[in-house]
Amino acid sequence: MASHSKSSVRQRSTLDLFRNLRNARVAIFHPKDDNRDILVQQLQRIGCQTVTIWPPLADLPEGTDIVFFLLNAEASDKKKLAWLTPASAIPLIGIVEYENPTILDTATSLGCHGILVSPVHHNGILSTLIMAIHHCQQLRLLNKRNQRLEQKLQASNQISAAQAVLARTRDIGAVEAYKIMREQAMLKRVPIEEIARAILHADGILHR
């Protein structure tokens, strides 16, 4: 039963991704050729709104949800293309003329969430698109989780440092110092981290 439930969740998630593609705004940075024409046709069949641009713009068109781009020397110049970054909040899909370790290394270093290999075919565009969106979403979730963990670690370090300050200045143990901080936090109805920061700030002023 649990396995069936997990399968249903995954299926619903994939269906949601597909539904969300309808009316998605897709920017295609690629010169006009058969590859671009096939890509535009297939994306429009899916229901996406497409805009084709060449050469690439330094900034994305307003409201862009997904980007396909020709991965070449020009696209690799991060200074010109601010949107081409591993920190991208939207899926980036590179179109390459051939596969080799150098090209794939460039794609990953630029933050590509998916790859299409020329010549582009109708088959494979949808699956590449879905996987790229999924990959991008997972990276965003991981980044948010990492940020929360870093914040918790920073708060824990501040609490430990404030405990040490209280223990030193009041000549008490670490447990008693933490108890005082917790009581103050409850009294003032603020997080204990805020009490810790106030203690460290006051200690810093006294020792200037």
Q: Tell me what pLDDT residue 79 has.
A: 57
Q: Minimum mean pLDDT among 39-53, 64-78, 145-159, 170-184: which range?
A: 64-78
Q: Tell me what pLDDT residue 73 has.
A: 67
Indicate the average pLDDT of the chain.
87
Residue carrying structure tokens 């010549």: 119
Section 128-132 average pLDDT: 94
What radius of gyration do the chain's Cα atoms show? 26
7, pLDDT greater than 70: no
Residue 75 banded pLDDT, cuts 50, 70, 90: low
pTM of the full structure: 0.71
Query: Can you list the domains of the chain with their CATH numbers?
Result: 2-123 (3.40.50.2300), 145-206 (1.10.10.10)
